[in-house]
Amino acid sequence: QVQLVESGGGLAQAGGSLKLSCAASGGAFISRTMGWFRQAPGKAREFVGANNWKDGATYYADSVKGRFTMSRDNAKNTVHLIMNNLKPEDTADYYCTAGRSYTTIINYAQPANYLYWGQGTQVTVSS
């Protein structure tokens, strides 16, 4: 069983920055694809970014590409999401997620392809 705990959410002004962190426990972190999703009130959960465990490649949603950067620290079982040039439309609850161990995810944007989820951290961007 993997536990994921997000931190770092809060209030930011448009154009500002926030850094989210996700601490994983429970084993096999290094062999799991890690992802970030977000969900705004009344909307479906939306893919933000994912890091492939096997080759280290990172993928982003078009809406955040060039503004958000995802990184992982396998020694500390942690992933980060650095969010720059924030926009009011980035306001949402942000969730960290982990895939199955030693499994390649084909469609990173599909929530059903991930196995474990954190409780979420709220990000609010004011205009």
Low-confidence ranges of the chain (pLDDT < 70): none
**Mean per-residue pLDDT over the chain, rounded:** 96
Q: What is the pLDDT of residue 1?
A: 86
Q: What is the pLDDT of residue 22?
A: 98
Q: What is the pLDDT of residue 118?
A: 98
Q: What is the pLDDT of residue 43?
A: 96
Q: What is the pLDDT of residue 71?
A: 95
Category of 8 on φ-ψ map: left (φ > 0), alpha (ψ -120 to 50) or beta: left
